[in-house]
Structure 1
Amino acid sequence: MSSASSMVDWDLAGRTARRLVSPGPRTTREEAAAVVRELHEAAATAVAHVEALTGLRPAPDGAVPEIAVVDRPGWADANARGMATLLDPLVAKLAERQDSRPGALATAIGSRATGLQAGGLLAFLSSRVLGQYEIFGTGGRLLLVAPNIVATERKLGVDPSDFRLWVCLHEVTHQLQFTGVPWLHEYLEQQIGEFVAATDLAPEVLRERLQDVLRSVGDAVRGTESGSEPEGLMALVRDPRQREVLDRVTAVMSLVEGHAEYVMDGVGPDVVPSVRTLRKRFAQRRKGRGPVDRVLRRLLGLEQKMKQYAEGRVFVGGVIELAGMEGFNRVWEGPHNLPRIDELTAPERWVERVLGRPSLPA
């Protein structure tokens, strides 16, 4: 999975994550089989509801994405593979631009150290993620992490069937975004490539900074972080061109997350009877500044970046209110119609720029 020149030993990261991952909630073999069966059924059911609400359809010539119900080690393995597929070729291109390169031994030692740290982070996150549409690495699988879904529904005290369908609505929305808008995946890869192209750091320096970030993440998880707020991943972003790329990536990820949030609530109680209860309890769960919040704040290094994900929901709801779903769906016509970073909190600006008319309620 990882080459000898990798910045991160992703094979080691995957093995480390599997060794450190915490066990899931207790279930009998029969209960576990029933959960897997219901999640597959819920994902299949969600497709029609998402299509009806959003108007998105998979590309006619596209492959049918796989739905995989996984455990925590399975999620960690999938993400280690995905990160290797995405990052290793980009780091190799970065190394080609350097006049001098570190020796094989130094590279191996550095990649193993970073792999151990990355594995610890994957192990931690593997117990928090409910679902994920794999954009990179496997051709687009929809992952549903069964033990985390069961643990969360028990903790929230909600109807299991409603909660499982609700989660699937979110993840199926992502599935339809990327299968129904084929250029979106290519656009994100292009932005990441531009980010790397604007990087003037040697790979070994970049690895050292990444190790510092991962080390600080570990401190946050263990609750031993210092009082000062670190730069996090923003420490890797020095060039103004990189910050421009980061803004574009943040805007598109805010869009797809906000769109999925809108769909989760937009289907209404006819589809998910306890949807209002689910949203209320889930929102309360998100308010706390627990370990996940510390990790994400440490990784991103800037509260504003986390805020922009929440702003995606404001943007989607605002545009639909002003221009209807048909007007909103113009966002999928091409990169030029994607929201700009300043339009996330001012959807009327997007309506005026893209639709070419004053913002009037739909």
Structure 2
Amino acid sequence: MSPGSNPFEGMPFFGDLLKMLGTQGPVQWDGARQLALSIATGGESEPNVDPVERIRFEQLARVADLQVAKATGLSTSTTGRAVTVTPVTRTQWALTTLDAYKPLIEKMAVALHPPTEGESTQPALPTDLFATDDSSVDPTEAWLGQIMGLLSPMLLGMTTGSLVGHLATRSFGLYDLPIPRPASDDLLVVAANIESFGDDWSMSGDDLRLWICLHQLTHHAVLGLPHVRARLDELLGDYASAFESDPDALGSKLTDLDIDPTGGDPMARFQELMGDPEVILGAVRSPRQLEILPWLEALVTVVVGYVDHIMDSIGSGLIGSYGQVTEAMRRRRVESSASDRFVERLLGLDLTQDHFDRGRAFVDGVVERAGVEALEKLWTSVEVLPTPNEVAAPGLWLARIGVDVELDVDTDLDLGPDLDPPS
């Protein structure tokens, strides 16, 4: 093959790909939205939510709001007006979630391919991808090398769109993952997913709706606290910004791509590659992220443990089938899909049953030692949020915040000096 020739001539997919790469920002959001909506809806139009369903959630949300505020002592509102719980379509949920995750994904994009001094985050397409003066250079390898820096925006866009689309097919609300959303008191729940889940488990529709209202509002009350939101946003943002790129790993994946026009559909092969989470996360977790992770996990673990405690304290007296619904929900979260797990890894929230168990053990340990009144101190300021070591030893946390308790030598062990908080 002569220098400057195009080894992909006659393959319009790659021509279209190069045009797209030359017109995008740090993440290809248009492609992400298109893919997310296609997956969320199965490529079909969605019916509007039944107005009767909206009325049911509106009524149950008022009940849940009063109960959560009473049990937590926290305001459920972040804006000063009443919180609403609105059933929406999968399309609406997917679009809202893409917007919520956008700052984190773009921080990751910049971390993976930071612009050089004087360069914008808009990638520049080389004028001739296949031109080379060295006849010994394989034009295919030259193409792969030049396109590597341009590939990340589309890769992140397609991966993010695919994952959010899949999440839209099974998520119930905004807080299935305990991640702060933009300040709003309009909580969205996915009507079709809730109805399908209830049918699968033969549940009372109103019991399930009320359970979900309680769950969403309890998360909202905690994550709506300014200092909790700010701390979690800080940790998530720092984690996303600390990714490191491994071009060799991605290059190896691209080299394995079958680009022979006679070897099958190149679009299908490329989409298969883009859907592989390991292309992004296979070898990019950095030492800095390992420093951040214990603090991020500590905060999230305590949040989910606290939510479970509050749910149990009010749910059984409010919902006739509370035990059945709770058991089904807890099985469901342990059996999370690959999309759930990858989003959690992407954001540093690889939640397992162990995290839920440790969070609940911390909260139960506080109550056993100092009563439910001690839980009121948990969310008073960022300074009193439990450290990683304290999550495993609630007596140490109580001692640090000035609550006199007798340490249990079996559980409140000396775990050594706690990690310094990430700066």
User: What is the TM-score of this pair, normalised by structure 2?
Assistant: 0.67
Amino acid at match of 1:345: A
User: Which residue does 1:38 correspond to in 2?
Assistant: 56
When residues 325 and 36 of structure 1 are mapped into structure 2, their CA distance, relative to the original with a 3 A threshold, is same
Q: Does residue 167 in structure 1 map to residue 236 in structure 2?
A: no
**Residue correspondences, number:** 338
By how many angstroms is 1:303 displaced?
11
User: Which residues in structure 2 correspond to 1:328-339 (within 5 Å)?
Assistant: 328-339=375-386
Per-residue CA shift, 1:253-294, capped at 9, x if unaligned? 12222222222221043311221222233334445x4xx344
**Matching residue within 36, 42, 45 for 1:17:** 36
Amino acid at match of 1:112: M
More helix as a share of residues? 1
**Matching residue within 126, 150, 153 for 1:111:** 153
Q: Does residue 183 in structure 1 map to residue 256 in structure 2?
A: no
Give SS of 2:50's match: helix
- Give the whole-Å Cα distance in 2 for the aligned partners of 1:140 and 1:297: 27
- Give the whole-Å Cα distance in 2 for the aligned partners of 1:33 and 1:66: 15
The alignment-based identity, stated in percent, is 25
- Give the whole-Å Cα distance in 2 for the aligned partners of 1:273 and 1:233: 44
**Matching residue within 62, 87, 98 for 1:80:** 98
Structure 1: runs of 5+ lacking an equivalent: 221-229
User: Which residue does 1:57 correspond to in 2?
Assistant: 75
- Give the whole-Å Cα distance in 2 for the aligned partners of 1:217 and 1:85: 21
CA contact (8 A) 2:163 2:343 kept: no
When residues 56 and 359 of structure 1 are mapped into structure 2, their CA distance, relative to the original with a 3 A threshold, is farther
When residues 142 and 99 of structure 1 are mapped into structure 2, their CA distance, relative to the original with a 3 A threshold, is same
**Matching residue within 234, 238, 244 for 2:286:** 238
CA contact (8 A) 1:83 1:137 kept: no
**Matching residue within 278, 296, 299 for 1:252:** 299
- Give the whole-Å Cα distance in 2 for the aligned partners of 1:88 and 1:206: 22
- Structure possessing the higher radius of gyration over alpha carbons: 2
**CA RMSD of superposed structures (Å):** 4.0
CA contact (8 A) 1:86 1:137 kept: no
When residues 298 and 61 of structure 1 are mapped into structure 2, their CA distance, relative to the original with a 3 A threshold, is closer
- Give the whole-Å Cα distance in 2 for the aligned partners of 1:75 and 1:338: 31
When residues 303 and 73 of structure 1 are mapped into structure 2, their CA distance, relative to the original with a 3 A threshold, is closer
When residues 215 and 247 of structure 1 are mapped into structure 2, their CA distance, relative to the original with a 3 A threshold, is farther
**Matching residue within 400, 406, 413 for 1:353:** 400
Give SS of 1:104's match: coil
User: What is the TM-score of this pair, normalised by structure 1?
Assistant: 0.77
**Matching residue within 31, 44, 66 for 1:48:** 66
Amino acid at match of 1:130: F
CA contact (8 A) 1:323 1:359 kept: no
**Matching residue within 295, 319, 322 for 2:369:** 322
Q: Does residue 149 in structure 1 map to residue 194 in structure 2?
A: yes
- Give the whole-Å Cα distance in 1 for the aligned partners of 2:274 and 2:398: 39
